[in-house]
Amino acid sequence: MSTAIRNLQELLDVAAGRGEADLYLKGGSMVNVLSGEIYPANVAVWQDKIAYVGESSKMVGSNTTVIDAGGYYLCPALIEPHYHPWMIYNPVSLAEVALCRGITTMVCDNLFFFVQLGAQGLLKLIQFLDHLPVKFLWLARAIHQSPDPCEEEMFSTGNLQKLFSDPRVVKLAEITRWPLIVEGNTSILEKICLAREHRIGMEGHTAGCSYDRLNVMAAAGTESCHEAITAQEVAQRIRLGYWAMLRHSSLRPDLPELLRTITEMNLHTGRMLFTSDACGPGFIAREGLLDGMLRLAVATGVNPVTALQIATINPATYLGLEKELGSISPGRRADILLLPDLKNFTPHMVLSGGQVAAVDGKPDAPLVAPDWDKMGLHTNLPSPDLLNNPSLFGVPSDKPEVFPVVDFVSAVITRQQDRLLQPRSGFLEREEDMLYCTHIDRYGKWLTNGFVKGMGRVEAFASTFTTSFGLMVLGRDRSSMARAAAEVAAMNGGMVLIESGQVSFRLPLQLGGLMSDSPISTLTGKVNELEELARGFGYPYNDILYSILFLSCDFLPGLRMTALGIKDVKSQKIIVPSRNFPGTFKAPVN
């Protein structure tokens, strides 16, 4: 008899009351997200699966662990369908926080790990993370967020084939450069078709997409989108067959507006999902993740069971995993929450795969992280001695020039402001309301020089927390910028702020330049410190992390400091090209 048949027989024995359950939840109030009801029920668990839901106790034996669920609501654990797990924290520290907030499944973007580790290294990491009580599933990128000189080789069909063959890769990830799909780019369409061959669907990133272009994206097979920022945009997506992800993140806290689709427009919620997308540590501490979205939804007037459906059975169905996840019903994985109420959504107990994983906001056991260095997650940067050179951080010129300044009009949106600048000692001089800005390739191959406006008056700030995974440096003084850049390189990635000639802030991000191995609670304090310093030097917006992160991308409006140079996103033209870095190019190891 095969192991599969034996396991099925034992599960059925427990369901029928012929065998002993491993765990029995007694006397709870069942939140049935399938029927939309709440009623008294007991739940029997065998190994990692739910065997029985109802009134019987025949399966309770001498070896059964009985948990009194009286006074608690029994709910399916939450499912996050779209997340970027490298927002200064790492996937393991994120998993610990998510678990305690009731999330046992996270579907995560692979971009950072894929670029850093290559296909084989990413698969190694995916396998390691399988031991955690939070189930990680993955979204596979087909191209880089912004054009990269190495992307054709990096995102080859051969590399994607390796990823699509892994069952934990469940979707083709968002293609931020979605106009390529509308234009019928052959390379992109080839990758979409490759994903289809593996029965893998495609999530979307249709920011700024008109209704007519949404039609084209839907025809290409786009299944979901997390970029709606108004209730009307949510409605457009649902009408065209998309799953609409209602987002609430530190950059885009849009949920109050998006919930109008339910509370005012009375749209059917069966194709709605909740997502936190990517949240800074401080935002998580203040507002939570999906648990915070549930609180906000119910406070806005959404029925609690409806809100839970959007966070449980809906994402399970979207992922094609409703036979495994998303509800408390026989044969499903025993991921169950014991909630004291349906208002705060703070779990008393979290079961993951039939095991008690967290109680009252604390994990049952520490979550073990991999040896990141052995995993191959290194930070690539030019050496400190190469970076400690003020001439890297200016725009070379010996005559006056009209130069396109990157003018911030929000935390992440910019516009072009042309300014006549004067030269001094071979470089254009900034004016008083501007900062020098330089974007440096992590392998020391190129750099892009320019100026930014609307970011305050910082002496020097250097950060590897960028979408390019390179080094972004800005400031009033080029010598201080050089010092800040060298300091970041010396600590293998991170952030350094210099004011009055002194380092006033330092945050090491030694895991690829984007992540720390510190707990999120520690990082929350550091980010709060940085935000306070940013307010002090006149940064006017709510999230300096995102301002730096997205300055190098080219999928948001305005000018961007990209690998190819200063780019006008609307016209897709390079206005000022990048230049060669005056050092030795170090080729990628992956």
Q: What is the pLDDT of residues 78-90, one digit of tens each?
A: 999 999 999 999 9
Q: Does pLDDT of 475 surpass 90?
A: yes
Flag whether 356 is in a domain.
no
Flag whether 352 is in a domain.
no
Flag whether 297 is in a domain.
yes
Residue 204's SS3 state is strand
Q: Sorting pLDDT into bands at 50, 70 and 90, what band is 584?
A: very low
Q: What percentage of the chain reaches a pLDDT higher than 70?
A: 99
Q: Which neighbouring-strand residues pair with 222?
A: 202
Flag whether 201 is in a domain.
yes
Same domain, residue pair 441 and 497:
yes
The residues near 126 (Cβ < 8 Å, ≥ 6 apart) are 136, 138, 166, 168
pLDDT of residue 553: 86
Interval 121-162: pLDDT, tens: 999 999 999 999 999 999 999 998 877 777 888 899 999 999
pLDDT of residue 80: 98
Same domain, residue pair 293 and 413:
no
Instruction: List the structure tokens of 191.
Output: 């990758």
Q: Does pLDDT of 505 surpass 80?
A: yes
- The mean pLDDT of 363-376, rounded to a whole number, is 93
Backbone phi and psi for residue 419, each to the nearest 5 degrees, phi listed first: -130, 140
pLDDT of residue 378: 87
pLDDT of residue 583: 59
Interval 243-269: pLDDT, tens: 999 999 988 899 999 999 999 999 999
Flag whether 531 is in a domain.
yes
Q: Please give the C-alpha separations between residue 310 and each of 34, 304, 305, in angstroms, as whole numbers.
A: 11, 10, 9
Same domain, residue pair 156 and 286:
yes
Same domain, residue pair 452 and 529:
yes
Which H or E run contains 43? strand 37-46
Q: Are strands 78-83 and 103-109 parallel, antiparallel or unpaired?
A: parallel
Interval 396-413: pLDDT, tens: 999 999 999 999 999 889
Domain boundary among 19, 45, 71: 71
pLDDT of residue 589: 39
Same domain, residue pair 397 and 439:
yes
Same domain, residue pair 229 and 108:
yes
Q: Does pLDDT of 1 surpass 80?
A: no
pLDDT of residue 570: 85
CATH number at residue 65: 2.30.40.10
Same domain, residue pair 40 and 140:
no
Structural domain including 221 reads: 77-317+364-369
Given phi > 0 = left and psi -120 to 50 = alpha, else beta, which region is 441?
Answer: beta
Flag whether 588 is in a domain.
no
CATH number at residue 206: 3.20.20.140
Domains identified in the chain, total number? 3
pLDDT of residue 557: 82
d(CA 437, CA 444) in angstroms, rounded, equals 16
Q: Model-level pTM greater than 0.85? A: yes
Same domain, residue pair 140 and 257:
yes
Domain boundary among 24, 39, 71: 71
Flag whether 270 is in a domain.
yes
Q: Sorting pLDDT into bands at 50, 70 and 90, what band is 361?
A: very high
Same domain, residue pair 50 and 94:
no
Q: Does pLDDT of 585 surpass 50?
A: no
d(CA 579, CA 477) in angstroms, rounded, equals 21
Domain boundary among 307, 337, 369: 369
Interval 322-347: pLDDT, tens: 999 999 999 999 999 999 999 999 99
Same domain, residue pair 230 and 202:
yes
Same domain, residue pair 291 and 218:
yes
Same domain, residue pair 128 and 262:
yes
Helices assigned H by DSSP within 447-566: 478-490, 520-536, 544-550
Interval 156-214: pLDDT, tens: 999 999 999 999 999 999 999 899 999 999 999 999 999 999 999 999 999 889 999 99
Interval 476-497: pLDDT, tens: 999 999 999 999 999 999 999 9
d(CA 95, CA 291) in angstroms, rounded, equals 14
pLDDT of residue 587: 39
